[in-house]
Structure 1
């Protein structure tokens, strides 16, 4: 259970819950009944402060769990890995090479989960 990151509505994501539903910004005051895992909320009486940016983020049509599912899972790319190819058979990727490539690609390229092929070397974008 956490707060201080206002959201439009409380939603379970990976067994965590943000109960900050923007009461100070005219949203709702939300509480969790435990162990029933029941959410209770009441609307704010007034708006005490205008938010600097709109609540709800840039993709209100997408659930928070769907956003979390799109994040790269580090366990999928960490450690000693190998790739099966038709041309060269099994190619082993050492742990230190994989982590170095992931660092460079995550800083200077597309999100790593979008890449089909991680080249052995790639110059950073200018």
Structure 2
């Protein structure tokens, strides 16, 4: 459920609580449900936006789920932006054909390949 959906659900539970109150019925369960959904809506609205689902995340290693098919991994160390146009560039290390090499991937690279079939893995060992 998204933040706005939680907010709407909280409003619905508050309306139910108001109806129950006017009818002389118990309001505690409706109020409790409204509070839970309001809290979740607030958490969603104030959560840090550290995820960039449309691009690489620093500290993650991406690899093909079938290494026998494609011997490819990319460990993203940082993401920077172009000073003029703001395009993101992921800087890190690519493992290809048995060796690691430094590499930069831009948004066009990511969009072009889409990296379908890759898996997000824990950070690759350093050293």
With normalisation by structure 2, the TM-score equals: 0.31
Higher strand share: 2
Answer 1 or 2: higher relative contact order, Cα 8 Å, separation at least 6. 2
Higher helix share: 2
Kindly name which structure, 1 or 2, has the bigger radius of gyration based on alpha carbons. Answer: 2
